[in-house]
Amino acid sequence: MIPNKQTETLLADRPSPETIAAWRQDFPILGREVNGKPLIYLDNGASSQKPRAVINRLEHYYAHEHANIHRGVHVLSQEATGAYEAARETVARYLNAAEARECIFTRGATEAINLVASSWGGANLQAGDEVLLTVMEHHANIVPWQMLETRLGIKLVVAPISDEGELLVEEWEKLISPRTKLAAFCHASNSLGTVNPAKAMIAKAHAKGVPVLLDGAQSSAHMKIDVRDLDCDWFVCSGHKIFGPTGIGVLYGKAALLGAMPPYQGGGDMIDVVSFSGTTFRGLPERFEAGTPNIAGAIGLAAAFDYLDSIGHEAIAAQEQDLLAYATAQLQQIEGLTIYGRAAEKVSLISFMIDGLHPNDIGTMLDMDGIAVRTGHHCTMPLWERFGLTGTTRASFAFYNTREEIDALITSLNKIRRLFLG
Ligand code: PLP
């Protein structure tokens, strides 16, 4: 990325080495070795590591508070219920939702999108209706809509991007027609890093009466999310990418919209009265949380949000933008290396190819040096088709990564180049 005014300001506020070292102490896994080398974890876009605060909270919950929620009169059940609902309050505060009941716990971003597609889409879309996507979407924001294409006969319309990996917003806007019933797009691309101008896009869609689902799976670990400021109708994210547990995610939806959506799954806890002559459903949020939820996951996710608040979003952004600028400059020095995704605004990840080298070979060789990166299509096959590729190598940084780790990545890449290409 070419540093712009915004990143120049951030770089000036770069956290001190002592601060970064203290952050790293919070993540026990960063102290381990892989293949006899200190672990260098650059696969944060796939899943981030867990701070002691989250690990301890999970341990405390299972050691002292666990029972099933919402149904027990006994103390443990009430304590677990209290902790679970307190977690919802934390999530709502973190996302700046107007009310906690607007935050539904799901298994992750994927399930949250499927919930909206199945429930809202099933009730509101019909043959000929259009859903506007972009070519940079993760499969999780393509396939659920494609399933509705098969089921209902809706049409998917796909907005293009530039060679730099930026959404062509004017083209996107032109694709909104009277048939468009929904726009769904990523806040940040997991393959290119591109940050889409979500707030402006949402305003444009709303001006044409089109609701918006914003996929925040890649943005939520990197920036302060304010769903009310964005004015998105739905927002989805995954706990495991935000330093929280796996198997937990959030669907935020405006209360009026969510409240009008039919249940997604049926079962315990989401009902008012069940009889064989008919069943009535509870209100928000219970109607979308059938069965025993991931209680520990929700509590752990709240601990992750509290932890991130203690670090501070400005400090996180300053460190990550520094890593992005530093790594971009260093990678560009490597002969034959091409970076895919050169948007003016990016989250801290870099997709690249090296002439003559297959991403899988690069990933395997980096692993021998203890460096974990992602290789392959990153669940964005249509995006790579756009670039005439089948995938890339992707290094994705969190605030606990360091410039020294990027130096090690560069050294290792140069070594791999020499080994394979002479
Ligand atoms: N959307 C984007 C942009 C992602 O990067 C991912 C995961 O990589 C998802 C959705 C799906 O997230 P999950 O697999 O945690 O449900």
What number is the average pLDDT over the span 299-307? 98
Q: What percent of the chain has pLDDT over 70?
A: 97
Handedness of CA 36, 39, 45, 47 (dihedral sign): positive
User: Residues 6 or more apart from 134 whose CB is under 8 A from it?
Assistant: 158, 159, 160, 161, 167, 172, 185, 186, 196
pTM of the shown model: 0.97
Separation of 238 CA from ligand 1 center, angstroms?
A: 7
Cα separation of the two ends of the chain: 29
63-85 confidence digits (pLDDT tens): 999 999 998 899 999 999 999 99
Specify the pLDDT at position 394: 98
Specify the pLDDT at position 11: 58
24-45 confidence digits (pLDDT tens): 999 999 999 999 999 999 999 9
User: Residues 6 or more apart from 164 whose CB is under 8 A from it?
Assistant: 341, 342, 343
What number is the average pLDDT over the span 304-331? 98
Specify the pLDDT at position 245: 98
Q: Radius of gyration (Cα) for the chain, nearest Å? A: 22
The kind and range of the H/E element at 385 are helix 381-386
Q: How confident is the model at residue 335 (pLDDT cuts 50, 70, 90)?
A: very high
Q: Is pLDDT at 18 greater than 80 in this prediction? A: yes
What number is the average pLDDT over the span 37-64? 98
Separation of 249 CA from ligand 1 center, angstroms?
A: 10
Which member of 186, 232, 237, 379 is catalytic? 379
Asked whether 341 lines ligand 1 (CB < 6 A), one says: no
Specify the pLDDT at position 292: 97
| Protein residue with least CA distance to atom 5, ligand 1 | 190
Separation of 413 CA from ligand 1 center, angstroms?
A: 27
Domains and CATH numbers, the chain: 5-43+312-421 (3.90.1150.10), 55-309 (3.40.640.10)
Query: Mean pLDDT score of the chain, rounded to an integer?
Result: 96
97-155 confidence digits (pLDDT tens): 999 999 999 999 999 999 999 999 999 999 999 999 999 999 999 999 999 999 999 99
Is 379 one of the catalytic residues? yes
Asked if 398 contacts 323 with a C-beta cutoff of 8 angstroms, the reply is no
Asked if 373 contacts 391 with a C-beta cutoff of 8 angstroms, the reply is no
